Structures are given as structure tokens and as C-alpha cells.
Amino acid sequence: MPDDDYLIVPEPVRGTARSPQSDLDAQAGVTVEAVDVIRAETMEMAAGVRTFSSRQIQRARDLLARLYALRRARRLYPPEHPAVADAARELFGVIGVYHAEGVDVPLTFFEDEVLLGEQMLTEDSVLFDQLIRDMTSLGAGSVTFTRGLEMDEVVRFADVLGLRYEEVAETDGGIATLIERARIPHIVVSTVSVVRDDVASGSEDSEQAAKFAYTSALDLLRELERLIRHNQGFNPGHVKGAVRSLVDNILRNRYAMLELSGLKSFDEYTFYHSINVTILSLALGSTLTRDYRFLSSLGVGALLHDIGKMSVDLSVLNKTTPLTSDEWSELREHPVRGAEITALTSGVDRAAMVCVLEHHLRYDLTGYPARKIAYPQHISSRIVAVADAYDAMTSQRPYSAPRMQDEAMGIIVKNAGTALDPTLVRLFVDTLGYFPPRSVVLLTTGETAVVVSPSPSDAARPVVRVIADSSGTFTEAFDLDLSDSAQADGRSVVRCLDPTGMNVDIADFL
């Protein structure tokens, strides 16, 4: 099933240098004011949505006190000491009250803050400064006590909680591995990465980190499909960890990640597509806000947006002939299936679940799954929808050849205001440019070039690496910023070229 099936796809017009700027400007609502509105909406979301009652939030102080007491007791005494048993019992009692009210207990320790779910605990962040530092040093940036927790699990958790930083650091996989070994299924622990501003953008270390984040996410998706096709659950901590690594790299070196988002694989389309959509979504989301919690939630929703397809028969997914009505109906159910999978996975936040459900809903709400009550598509869903449509159109799929990047961007613009949020489309074009990274382009001089990065000042004039002269002969590559008139020397981009028939391996020039 086409990921872009909800788009109006015009007949391609080739051989002209016309940009979609006029089409984009013509879309209703795409104004500076509209950008401000959507930015404000995003920031409001990023600030945190209250998901717990005031009584439950007040009780969090007792919860944190009991958690700190358990760590202290286990650091001071052996596991069989009565002080450890008492501390474990008291923590279990407080958690039990939450569970009796029908909620899990997610705590996040990030930088100098502690959160209950999405609610920042301002005063408690000051009172429990030592606990926050202890938990982050152990790598326990996120701890969720899920319903079904048993007392003996809390006792085993105390053994992990009482470890020194050095002991955790020596373990391959860190605290998450230790939790798994301790057989504590109802306590989910994962790390919270902190963006290192001291890593220079564009440095070799930064580019290697970007590649590592990409390949790690790829391995994770392969494992997720194996688990889902065997009707097994997955650890949301692993997903969050992979996403946080992608978020770090987007904030550190956006262009390096955007370059990687051009990687494609016909045989593993779903995996590469999911990672590329995540990168594109995070790049777009980061133009609205750099709030780490919002971007992490957005990234999880983007990475899992097609998880419902992992339960669809492969013969249907890979079918090259037209689908039957039954096959089409089955495939259109993948957002619902994906939402069900994530809803049954404790530790996946609600915004990510909604994103999985809504990414085919369309901005005008005429997509699927159909709703009885029409209410606006979630901001994260709107972001992912833009990224999803673009990457799908530029990828080789069983039922269609890839479109050139500039053609796909033109179709995205044509659908602004109907299938796609017009403001986000404008920001997307500004972020990637009309000729995105890894595009092979023809210049007005007849030279061939590879797009290295978009220009921050002119979406139609990217930074390119010229690789062949007007006769098509490969030359020593050199870079040009086409937005710089002196460097460009009259050059501009005519259109994108298909590298498959040119004996060009783009990676060789990047």
C-alpha cells in the first residue's frame, strides 16, 4: 500500500527549473503568523500535559522519598537486612496506591528535574536533588513501575538500585541489562541522553555518532519485527534509547543526519523508511522547539508509525500487482493495529500512540482511520505525515519506482492545506530545501553535482559538490554554495537527476 496514497499526485513536469515556491505561497494559512501559532502550540505541548490528578502529584513526594530511602538502605546494608526489607515494603505500598487507581508510575530524571509522567515536579526537583543525581549517574533516566508489580520485584530492584556507578558502567548495556537479568518485568528502566554541545557540528566524531545512531535504530527495528511477528512484546526503553540518540544527533548535527535520511533499501524498505521518517520528523520538529521531551515523544511516534505493518502478511506488503479490496482493507488497518500494539506496551507515552494512529488521517481529516467525532490532527501526527509522504515517494517500493526529490517536494507542496499542514510544509521545504541532501542535480552550466546541504538563506540554492563537467566526465569534486553569488558564478539548479543510470554511487562523493 502506498504510504502516500492520500496525496494528490499531479503528472510530473520535467525539464524546467520552476520551483514550487509560487504554489507554496498560494496555500491558505501559510503565513508568518501561522508559523507562530503552530510554534506556540508545539511549545505548549512540549511544556507537558497534566496526566495525573493533583492528589497523585502530591503523593509523588512520598514516592520519591521512599525510592531514595530504598537506595540508601541498600547502599548501607546487605540485602537480607531488615532496613532493606522495610524500605522495599514502604516503596511498594506507595506504588500500590497508584496501581489501585488504575495508573502506572512513570518517573523521569533529566538534568536537574524530576517528572511524574509529563508533569514536572518543580519543588520536588529541588528537594530530591541528590536522588536525581544518583539516578542519572546510574543511567536510570526513566523508571516506570507498571501494574502487576510484585513485592519480590521491588526487593530485586533494590539490589540494582544500590550499585555504584562504576559497577553499572562495567556492564554491557548498563542498568537496563541489569534490570533484565534481575527478572523485574514490571519495572522498566532506560537512559535519558543529554546533548553534548561541546561536540562540533560537522566534526568527524559527530558524523560517526550520527552513523552509529542510524545503524543502532536499524538493528532495533529488525528486532521489533521479529518480536511482533512472533506475538511477543518489546521493551519500550530500547525504543526510547534509540530515539534519544537520534534526537541528540539532530540537535548536534542536523545536516549529517539529513544526509543519512537519504539512505534507502528495497529489501528492507519498512526499516529504512521508519528511521528516515524519524530523522525528517525530528529535523522538522526541531525548527519549532528544541524541547527534549517533545522531540523524544515525536521521535518514538515517528519510529513506530508503521509498526502495525509488522503484523501484516509479507506477501501482501511485498505484492507488486494491484491489491484486492480485502488486501487493501487489511493494509489500511495498520494505523489501528500499530496503536493497539503501542497501547499494550507499557512505557510508550500517549502522544506517540496518537501519532501511530493518526499519521494517515490527513490535515483535512478525510483520511483513515475514519472518526465519528472530528477533532484536529495532533501536531506530532501532522509532522510525521509530511515526513512519511516525502520519504515514501522518494523510495523504491514493490509497487512503484521512486520519484525524484524535487518532484516529490513539489507534490508535498501541492498537498499543503488538504492532506498536509501548510505551515509545516513551508517549514519542511525551508529545512530540506527544494533539492534535499543526497540529490543528484543538473546545473545550468550542464555540470552534475550532489547536494550536500540546504542553504539557510535560499531553499532553491543548496550547497552542492560538483562531480562532473558539462560533457558528463567525472572531475575532481569541489563544493559550491549556490546561495553565494560569487561562488555560484551564475550557476543554479535545473532539476534532479536519476543516479541509477549514471553509474554514480552517491556515498562516494559524500
Q: What is the pLDDT of residue 237?
A: 83
Q: 53 burial class (0-12, 13-18, 19+ CB within 10 angstroms)? A: exposed
Q: What is the pLDDT of residue 202?
A: 46
255 close to 479: Cβ distance less than 8 angstroms:
no
Rounded distance between C-alpha atoms, residue 420 and residue 7, angstroms:
9
| Sequence-separated (6 or more) residues with CB below 8 Å from residue 316 | 323, 327, 330, 331
Rounded distance between C-alpha atoms, residue 10 and residue 324, angstroms:
25
Q: What is the pLDDT of residue 124?
A: 87
What order of strands is seen across the sheet that includes strand 113-116? 119-120, 113-116, 105-110, 142-145, 187-190
Rounded distance between C-alpha atoms, residue 61 and residue 124, angstroms:
6
Rounded distance between C-alpha atoms, residue 158 and residue 156, angstroms:
5
Distance linking the first and last C-alpha atoms of the chain: 32
DSSP state of 30: -
Q: Give the distance, in angstroms, between the CA of residue 259 and the centroid of all CA atoms in the same chain.
A: 16
Q: Would you write out the chain's pLDDT as a tens digit for each of its 510 residues?
A: 455 666 766 554 444 444 555 555 555 445 566 666 666 666 555 544 446 888 999 999 999 999 999 999 999 999 899 999 999 999 999 999 999 999 999 998 876 678 898 777 878 888 888 898 888 888 888 899 999 999 999 999 999 998 888 888 788 778 888 888 889 999 988 765 444 444 444 455 678 888 899 999 999 999 999 999 888 888 888 898 899 999 999 998 888 888 888 777 766 888 899 999 999 999 999 999 888 888 999 999 999 999 999 988 888 888 878 888 888 888 889 999 999 999 888 778 788 899 999 999 999 999 999 887 778 899 999 999 999 999 999 988 777 788 999 999 999 999 999 999 999 999 999 999 999 988 999 999 999 999 998 888 888 999 999 999 998 888 999 999 999 999 999 999 999 998 877 777 777 777
Report H helices in 230-291.
236-252, 254-260, 269-285
Q: What is the pLDDT of residue 327?
A: 87
Task: Report CA torsion sign: 52, 53, 55, 58.
Answer: positive
Q: What is the pLDDT of residue 24?
A: 55
Taking the domains of the chain in order of start, what are their residue ranges? Answer: 54-190, 204-432, 440-509
Task: Report CA torsion sign: 146, 379, 403, 488.
Answer: negative
Q: What is the pLDDT of residue 266?
A: 67
φ and ψ of 478, to 5 deg:
-145, 150
Q: In the chain, what are the helix, strand and coil shares in percent, each to the nearest 5?
A: 50, 10, 40
Q: What is the pLDDT of residue 431?
A: 92
| 404's grid cell | 525524484
Rounded distance between C-alpha atoms, residue 397 and residue 373, angstroms:
34
| 499's grid cell | 543516479
| 217's grid cell | 535504530
Rounded distance between C-alpha atoms, residue 387 and residue 256, angstroms:
17
Task: Report CA torsion sign: 165, 168, 173, 175.
Answer: negative
Coil, helix or strand at residue 359: coil
The per-residue DSSP string of 123-189 comes to HHHHHTHHHHHHHHHHT-SEEEE-TT--HHHHHHHHHHHT--HHHHHTSTTHHHHHHHHTT-TTEEE
Beta bridge mates, 450: 440, 465
Nearest to 278 by CA among 202, 207, 356: 356
The CA-atom distances, in angstroms, between 62 and each of 69, 124, 406, 467 are: 10, 10, 57, 64
Q: What is the pLDDT of residue 442?
A: 94
Rounded distance between C-alpha atoms, residue 183 and residue 355, angstroms:
31
The CA-atom distances, in angstroms, between 254 and each of 124, 248, 250, 303 are: 34, 10, 4, 17
What order of strands is seen across the sheet that includes strand 448-453? 474-481, 463-468, 448-453, 440-443, 493-497
CATH class as words, domain 204-432 = mainly alpha
H/E stretch holding 219? helix 204-229
Q: What is the pLDDT of residue 8?
A: 65
Strands 105-110 and 142-145: antiparallel
Strands 493-497 and 440-443: antiparallel
| Sequence-separated (6 or more) residues with CB below 8 Å from residue 211 | 260
